[in-house]
Amino acid sequence: MEVRHIPYLLLLPAIAYLLFFIGYPLIQALYLAFTKNGAFSLETVRRATSDPTFWQALKYTISLAIAIVPIQLILALILALAVNRAFKGKDFTIYALIIPLTISDVAAGLIWYTMLSDYGFMNKLLLNLGLISQPIHFFGYEYRTMEFLAIVIAEVWRATAIVFVIILAGLQMISREYLEAAEVFGAGYWTRLRKIVIPMLKPSIQSALIIRTLFAMQVFGIVWILAGRDIPVLAGEGFYQLMEIKDYGVASIYALTIALLSIILGALYVKFLKAEYLEVRT
């Protein structure tokens, strides 16, 4: 066998896997979404997009991502910088920070639902402290803003850890020599952060952003628990159409919308956040 064929052979299992588990379902979804009685038809697309819920789901999915991802990034950066130095109890702090990562989104949703409900921990605490006289309502169609807030709180609590881990790993890869050299030349903390740490963290930030934003497009469990369908999101509506209404065509449109959004966002990140290494630049 010729040597130049070997790489292709080695790729074969992966390609077979992708074809079977991603290619086939994708074709199936396209078929369900764009055909009627075996012929090409846009009827399903029209049925899905004529429902105002579709546009609300799109709007809420994107606004949740816009609200959650930047908070997570900034919070994770602050936390990572805080623990990236030697102090007593450092390991313990890191473990404590990543505990929420081990909890499933549904469980996290349930925890926050119980905490924020009318007779939950938060309201009881505020009532007992005399700060409020009536419980603050977080849940219900009339309180969608509060539900939105509850989702943001729960998501930040649950999923900041993954961004934190990625950024911490990136921080630890930055050689101390750069920082020491900068210090010798009189660069203060902010200058070092701006000129060295952040640029060198770019690859980590990029990975973290891609992962978080793509996950945000699929956000489902937490929203479902905290707000039901008061706040529709794409994944939730897809599930609802599939399981309750049994409209497989419309469910596929939701799934394809998530896929399309993910591809576009992924491409944008790769294009505009090109990873730069100081070594390459100099």
Residues near other proteins (CB under 8 A) are 113, 117-119, 134, 137, 139-143, 147, 224-230, 236, 240, 244-247
Residue of 143, 171, 168 whose CA lies nearest to 231 = 143
Tell the smallest beta-carbon distance from residue 53 to other proteins (Å): 9
Distance CA 45, CA 36 (A): 11
Kindly provide the b/e burial profile for residues 181-219, where b requires at least 16 CB atoms within 10 angstroms of the residue's own CB.
ebeeeebeeeebbeebbeebbebbbbbbbbebbbbbbbb
Distance CA 228, CA 239 (A): 12
Judged by CB, which is closer to other proteins: 93, or 117? 117
Judged by CB, which is closer to other proteins: 73, or 227? 227
Distance CA 100, CA 97 (A): 7
Tell the smallest beta-carbon distance from residue 226 to other proteins (Å): 7
Tell the smallest beta-carbon distance from residue 140 to other proteins (Å): 3
Judged by CB, which is closer to other proteins: 170, or 238? 238
Tell the smallest beta-carbon distance from residue 143 to other proteins (Å): 6
Tell the smallest beta-carbon distance from residue 109 to other proteins (Å): 10
Judged by CB, which is closer to other proteins: 77, or 105? 105
Judged by CB, which is closer to other proteins: 124, or 194? 124
Looking at 19-138, which runs of residues are DSSP E strands? 35-36, 39-40
DSSP calls for 128-169:
HTTS-SSPPP--SGGGHHHHHHHHHHHHHHHHHHHHHHHHHH
The continuous run of DSSP H or E covering 71 comes out as helix 52-83
